[in-house]
Amino acid sequence: MLNKFLALSVPILPKWFVELFSKSYVAGYSSKEVLSIVKELNNKGFSTTIDILGEHVSDLDIAEKITKEYCDLYEKIYQDSIDSNISIKPSHIGLDISEEVVLNNFQKILKKAKEYSNFLRIDMESSKSTDITFKIYNQLKLTYSETGVVLQAYLRRSLKDIESLGSHNFNARICKGIYQENSKVAIKDPEKIRVNFLKMAKLMSEKKSYACYATHDQHLIGALINMIKKHTIDSSTFEFQVLYGVPMNGRLEELLSLGYKVRVYVPYGPDWYDYSLRRLKENPDIAGYVLKNLFSKNS
């Protein structure tokens, strides 16, 4: 209840106060800042994926500007020998404008990913765009195999999507899902979402697909480790993923010690304010994480 109250209260607080919440979770405003943070994470043994903050762009010029920034990021990652790929929301580069625009911009970015032998992750947004996102993914995959997508464990359709898409060259991030969805399309019970997440992870292994387990849920991480050990799942076929800055109480270091890859999702950019408000509304637990972190830093 406290976390929900905090999340609802944040939008009416001064912007400088909201920035306190964002600083631990947003890796700066520029590519220079984010790349510096990513290098530090690499030095600690973590891989990363970089995301420019923003979504639902309706202006063509802005969509093209963001597209160019992603293309430039691939070049900088290559030049600095950084262990990072890139994650992109379709609505950030033109999905709300037209299918033609977003596909054209993705193809420009994909060309750079291929040029620098990197990987492109297409982020998943609300269920309204799931089908079109898979359509974009399938088209891009024909051009460059190092392309992946995201599956949301709270969506009732996700196991069927794995059945349809799963293969030895399918790469998907599995996350719980954060968007507000109708109960007809999404599971609402947290424990049932965990169960579905585990079913999806197991099915990905059976399909010989590469699975990215994206969660901060300590209980779920423990269950995933048990599943990996029980079914002797090869560590080269999966990785764990977390958001930058979320306290994990030593769990990430434990995962590394077990020989598992851990990738940190690192967002940056001038749109930190709207991002912070949305994340707090969609996941009130983050408010609790942040306040705890702030108090611990000042104690």
Q: Token digits for 27? A: 């890796």
H or E stretch at 62 = helix 60-79
So which residues are the catalytic ones? 123, 173
Q: Token digits for 221? A: 């991480």
Which residues, 6+ apart, have CB-to-CB distance to 72 below 8 Å? Answer: 31
How many residues are there in the chain? 299
Q: How far apart are CA 250 and CA 216, in angstroms?
A: 12
Longest dimension (CA), the chain: 54
Q: How far apart are CA 230 and CA 153, in angstroms?
A: 21
Contact 287, 7 (CB under 8 A): yes
Do the bridges between strand 210-214 and strand 47-52 make them parallel or antiparallel, or are there none, so unpaired? unpaired
